[in-house]
Chain A
Amino acid sequence: GAVVSQHPSRVICKSGTSVKIECRSLDFQATTMFWYRQFPKKSLMLMATSNEGSKATYEQGVEKDKFLINHASLTLSTLTVTSAHPEDSSFYICSAIRPGAESGRSPYEQYFGPGTRLTVT
C-alpha cells in the first residue's frame, strides 16, 4: 500500500509554545489530505481538510487560528498548533487520498500516517 509519514512521532512542549507536525505522502501525490485528532479509546475526529494550493477547510468547532494548516505541495501538509495548552494534548493523525485508479483498486483510498503524540506540559 501507499506510504504516509508523519514527523515527529512524539513531541512534548511547554504551554504557550507552538508545535509543527509534518505529513508527507512518500510514494504518491495527494491533492487532498485530512487532519484528525483522536482521544484515547475514541474514534477519529476530523479537524480539517487540506487541499494543495488552497486554504484548508475546517470542521465546525475547530479554531483555524489555533490549528494552522498549510498544504504547500502535493506531498506535504503541515499542522501547526499555536500557543499550545494542556488541553491540546492528543494523538494527531494525518491522511492522504491516493488519486487515480489502478486495475482492481479503488481510486479513493485514504492512507493514514502513523500519528503524532503531542503532550503539552
Chain B
Amino acid sequence: GENVEQHPSTLSVQEGDSAVIKCTYSDSASNYFPWYKQELGKGPQLIIDIRSNVGEKKDQRIAVTLNKTAKHFSLHITETQPEDSAVYFCAASEVPGNQFYFGTGTSLTVIP
C-alpha cells in the first residue's frame, strides 16, 4: 500500500518568512496530492491540491510542487501570517474514488 511521510513535524517561522513542508510517497500509481490545514478542534480544510500531470500549482501565497520521478511534493507558504498557524497534512491518492493516505502532519507556528 501507499506510505506517505511528512517533514518536519513542527515548524516555527517569523511572520513574513516562508514555510516549506515536504512529503514523500511510495506508490507510483498515486496521482492526486491534496494539502489540508487543520485548526485546533476543527476538521481539516482543503487548501490546495495538485494532480500528477502538473508540476506546480499556485494560489496566492500558497504553492505546491510535485516531482513524480522522486515521488515527493511540497507545500510552500510565502509571506506567512499568524493565522497560518495550524497543523498541515499532505495526502496522496489514486483517483478516482480510492482512499487517501495522509502524512503525519506538520504543526506550523508563525511568530508575530
Contacts and interface: CB of A to CB of B under 8 A. Distances in A.
Contacts, number: 58
Nearest to A112: B43
Interface majority SS (helix, strand, loop, mixed), chain A: strand
B25 to A, nearest CB: 14
Interface residues of B, number: 24
B46 interface: yes
Interface majority SS (helix, strand, loop, mixed), chain B: strand
A114 B32 CA distance: 23
B36 A112 contact: yes
Nearest to B93: A108
A6 B43 CA distance: 10
B96 A93 contact: no
Interface in A65-121: 93, 95, 97, 106-115, 117
B29 interface: no
B89 A43 contact: yes
B68 interface: no
Interface of B: 32, 34, 36, 41-46, 49, 51, 89, 91, 93, 95-97, 99-100, 102-105, 107
24 contacts: A4-B43, A6-B43, A41-B105, A42-B105, A43-B104, A44-B44, A44-B102, A49-B99, A95-B43, A106-B49, A107-B95, A108-B97, A109-B34, A109-B46, A109-B49, A110-B34, A110-B100, A112-B36, A112-B44, A112-B45, A112-B46, A113-B43, A114-B42, A114-B43
Interface of A: 1, 4, 6, 32, 34, 41-44, 46, 49, 93, 95, 97, 106-115, 117
